[in-house]
Amino acid sequence: MLRAVPGGGALLRYAAGLGVRGVETIGKLGLYVAVGVRLGAHDAGLFFLCLTWIGVVSTAARLGLDRAMTRHIAAELAVGDGRAARAALLQGLGLTSLAALAAALLTVLVAEVAAVRLFGFPDLAWPLYLSALVLVPQTLAFSLGAALAGFGRGVAAQIVQNALWPVLTLAALLAMPVAQEGGSLDGLIVALGVALAASCVLGGFILLRERGRLRTSPVPVPTLAADGVPASLPETEALPSLWTTALPLLVVELTQVGLSGLPVFLLGMAADAATVGAFSIASRISMLIWVIIISIGTLAAPRYAALYRLGEMDQLRAYNRMVQRGAALVAVPAALVMLAFPDFLLGLISADFRVAAAALQILALGQMANGLFSCQDILLAMTGRGDVLRRLNLLQLAVGLLLCGVLIPAFGLPGAALAASLTVLQGALGTHWAARRYVLNTEKN
């Protein structure tokens, strides 16, 4: 039997994972500070528009295969079928590589039209062209990290996906001479692409070290479980195809990244670049809480998949409670700090961004709810409930579009924050309810 509560080694991995997220948090916060100081409000706004564009298009290019790889690799390895895990890995990485190249080409084709007609910033065109260079390594870094998570290498996955590139990009920005007429912005986007490429190299190297686990086939003999007690693997149903798992998750991923980018895009159409920059800074500070939650979710994902595949429902419920409590203990205090000191936090970056103090407080409330009902989207994805997650996210998108369409024209920056916060709250409560109805309060056949 797998243990419900991880032992010392697992707790050390969680501590290491949170440590890596600490490095990521410092790197990203330092990067945002440096962007605000070195680029100024206008160019910072353009950079965050590019960053949002890269995030949305890269998510589409991953085709939902990143989370699907995590589930399939972890679940197949749990029953000793390394060859099936290898097939999922190769299919996932191959398809996302092709999609990433197509996404980069598409960005080149539409960059000028998007800059002039969509956002109304002609000087955004060249940064968008450069952003096409970033799309391929961004997509592959996240896909490689998802594969590593499936192997149980959650700490390495976080380094590859999220921790290494902000630190390297920050170092590059600080090393750049102060340039005029957008030179720093152009150099920053190129540095971002190089940093993500370095993350891909690291991820590929770590994956190669796991290749021995991909040669095994399941055998009907007794094995030793995590606590050392002899136990036989139960009969398990075959997983659906990787595409079957991925397609609903693609809708989920697109919806989530669209919801995070929607307030930025609509505010960019209704306000100046400086206002977009201020909101983007406030949003990214609040999302440092989400970063912590994702860290815990990345570490929990393969265990969710393995426990469910093995039919260990009591252990799954106990493990899920532990995951949620751990996330809340970290996320809620962080949200309280943002609620209490928004001016101070924004002033660390630039006095120009203090205009977004109320927005940061509103966003922090939404992230506090996210911390209280954390990781249930990961649980649904890892237990094959992608269709449920897709329906919840489409409903969330519809509400988000309505809220943004009403609140941003009426209230501007605070309206964008309120729309974002309410959609986060809806998503947290929706996945909490669905996880209990479809997974935690049921028994696997």
pLDDT tens readout for residues 286-302: 888 887 888 788 788 88
Task: Decide if pLDDT at 81 tops 90.
Answer: no
Band (pLDDT 50/70/90 cuts) for residue 229 is very low
Q: What is the mean pLDDT of residues 126-148?
A: 92
Counting residues of the chain whose pLDDT is more than 90, the rounded percentage is 31
Structure token digits, residue 183: 């030179």
- The candidate with the shortest Cα–Cα distance to 374, out of 417, 413, 335, 415, is 335
Q: Has residue 3 been placed in a domain?
A: no
41-55, 170-184, 217-231, 294-308: least confident range = 217-231
- Give Cα separations from 94 to 63, 83, 87, 91, 100 (angstroms): 11, 16, 11, 5, 10
The answer for residues whose C-beta is within 8 angstroms of residue 5's C-beta and 6 or more apart is: 318, 319, 322
Helix (H) or strand (E) holding 231: strand 230-231
pLDDT of residue 431: 94
Q: CA 320, CA 310: separation in Å to the nearest integer?
A: 16
Task: Decide if pLDDT at 148 tops 90.
Answer: yes
For 322, phi then psi, to 5°, come to -65, -45
pLDDT of residue 218: 64
pLDDT of residue 33: 79
Q: What is the mean pLDDT of residues 193-197?
A: 94
Structure token digits, residue 142: 């996240």
Q: Has residue 236 been placed in a domain?
A: no
Q: What is the mean pLDDT of residues 410-423?
A: 89
Whether 346 and 32 have beta carbons less than 8 Å apart is answered as no
The model's pTM is 0.74
Band (pLDDT 50/70/90 cuts) for residue 278 is confident
- The candidate with the shortest Cα–Cα distance to 66, out of 257, 318, 291, 324, is 257
pLDDT of residue 186: 84
Band (pLDDT 50/70/90 cuts) for residue 93 is very high
Task: Decide if pLDDT at 234 tops 60.
Answer: no
Q: Has residue 206 been placed in a domain?
A: yes
Band (pLDDT 50/70/90 cuts) for residue 5 is very low
Domain count across the chain: 1
pLDDT of residue 106: 93
Whether 227 and 5 have beta carbons less than 8 Å apart is answered as no
For 231, phi then psi, to 5°, come to -155, 145
pLDDT of residue 1: 38
Q: Provide the residue type at 247 as one letter.
A: L
Counting residues of the chain whose pLDDT is more than 70, the rounded percentage is 87
pLDDT of residue 363: 93
Q: Has residue 198 been placed in a domain?
A: yes
Q: Has residue 47 been placed in a domain?
A: yes
- The residue segments making up the domain with residue 100 are 8-229+242-440
As a whole number of Å, the end-to-end CA separation of the chain is: 18
pLDDT of residue 179: 52
Task: Decide if pLDDT at 227 tops 50.
Answer: no
Per-position b or e across 57-76, b if 16+ CB within 10 A of its CB: bbbbbbbbbbbbbbbbbbbb
Q: What is the mean pLDDT of residues 224-251?
A: 67
Q: What is the mean pLDDT of residues 395-414?
A: 89
pLDDT of residue 183: 56
pLDDT of residue 238: 75
Q: Has residue 2 been placed in a domain?
A: no
Q: Has residue 445 been placed in a domain?
A: no
Per-position b or e across 256-275, b if 16+ CB within 10 A of its CB: bbbbbbbbbbbbbebbebbb
Whether 256 and 423 have beta carbons less than 8 Å apart is answered as no
Task: Decide if pLDDT at 8 tops 50.
Answer: no
Task: Decide if pLDDT at 230 tops 50.
Answer: no
Q: Provide the residue type at 412 as one letter.
A: G
Give the three-class secondary structure for 224.
Answer: strand
- Give Cα separations from 13 to 3, 6, 156, 303, 421 (angstroms): 16, 10, 10, 13, 31
66-75, 152-161, 184-193, 249-258: least confident range = 249-258
Q: Describe the crossing of helices 82-113 and 8-62 by its angle, rounded to 10 degrees.
A: 50
Q: Has residue 132 been placed in a domain?
A: yes
CA atoms within 13 A on the CB side of 359: 31
Q: What is the mean pLDDT of residues 375-400?
A: 91
β-partners of residue 231 are 223
Band (pLDDT 50/70/90 cuts) for residue 222 is very low
Q: CA 115, CA 10: separation in Å to the nearest integer?
A: 47
Place of tokens 């919806």: 255
Q: Which of 179-188, 201-210, 228-237 has the highest mean pLDDT?
A: 201-210
Structure token digits, residue 416: 């964008």
